Amino acid sequence: MPDLDLILAATHHIAVFSLVAIYAAEFALLRPGLAGPRISQLARIDAAYGAVAGIVVVVGIVRVIFGAVGWQYYVGNQFFWAKMAAFVIAGLLTIPPTLAIRRWAKAGKGNQDYAPPAGEIAANRRFVHLQAGVLLLIPIFAAAMARGYGS
């Protein structure tokens, strides 16, 4: 049987890379000119983003508890908590765009010509841009943690 820690690490990394890919798709679609079928496509991508974020959290928790390093290393590491804080902040930054996307999808249902107001698109793009900045911190904190900093 393969090493459990290897399986957990690989699964966690695949989930994180998938999350970033889905984020990139959302980032690309949420732009001026969003209308019609692109809104429902964006809504599906946003739902997938939430689902994969949940997988990242679950696999991460399992990795902390059952991984080779042991949970004691994580709970005593400042960079682990910085990484968790960044993930929570990134998650909170997804709430306004998710609510807007759901509202737009509902408003556009049955109306192929529906386009969200440009101001709403711009406001929600700001949240997505802020999220990009926060997401950049996560691998930095993870790399520091993996090298023993913050203990």
Q: What is the pLDDT of residues 27-80, one digit of tens each?
A: 999 999 999 999 999 999 999 999 999 999 999 999 999 988 889 999 999 999
Domain ranges of the chain: 4-146
Rounded to 5°, the CA angle 29-20-83 comes to: 130
pTM of the model: 0.90
Residue 1 in this model has a pLDDT that exceeds 60? no
Residue type, 139: P
pLDDT in tens, 70-98: 899 999 999 999 999 999 999 999 999 99
Relative orientation angle of helices 4-29 and 118-146, to the nearest 10 degrees: 160
